Amino acid sequence: MIEGIPRISVLVITYNQEDVISRAIDSLLLQRDYIYEICVSDDCSKDRTWDILQDYSAKHPGLFVLNRNDPNVGIFENIEKTWTMPTGDIIYQSSRVWRKSSTSLQKRLRNRRAASMAGGLASNAS
């Protein structure tokens, strides 16, 4: 992670997404320099989603915060669970897959800094 920027926590929910979860996580890892932690809440998937998430967590120690609901609680409670997980300064609810050339987090961070300097945005970041 780049020094001097706010700690960004990315929230992800999942349920039975073994076919796409690797693509989603890999797209987040492309933004790794800007991400403090990736918080994923799995809603008791019946496929290999949880195993895949644990593999990523083992390969990237300290980056992932994982939760597995048992039993399944449904999408709304699963989303609410993710809001209890992050410890970063900025929380970003991930709902897309980024391309390799994407600079989404960098652009958002620059815009946030500019607004903060202009007095238009409050921040918890130091």
**CATH (domain of 26):** 3.90.550.10
> Residue 43 and residue 36: Cα distance in Å, rounded?
23
Domain span at residue 91?
A: 8-117
Predicted structure pTM score: 0.77
| Residue 101 domain-assigned (yes or no) | yes
| Tens-place pLDDT, residues 23-82 | 999 999 998 999 999 999 999 999 999 999 999 999 999 999 999 999 999 999 999 999
Residue 56 maps to a domain: yes
Q: State the alpha helices, DSSP H only, in 6-69.
A: 21-29, 49-59
Nearest to 41 by CA among 1, 70, 73, 68: 68
Q: Choose between 110 and 48: higher pLDDT.
A: 48
β-bridge pairing 8-14 and 37-42: parallel
In the predicted model, what is the mean pLDDT of residues 1-18?
A: 92
Examine residue 126 and state whether it is found in any structural domain, yes or no.
no
Collapsing DSSP to helix, strand or coil, 91 comes out as strand
Percent of the chain whose pLDDT exceeds 90: 67
Domain count, the chain: 1
User: What is the helix (H) or strand (E) element at residue 22, kind and residue range?
Assistant: helix 21-29
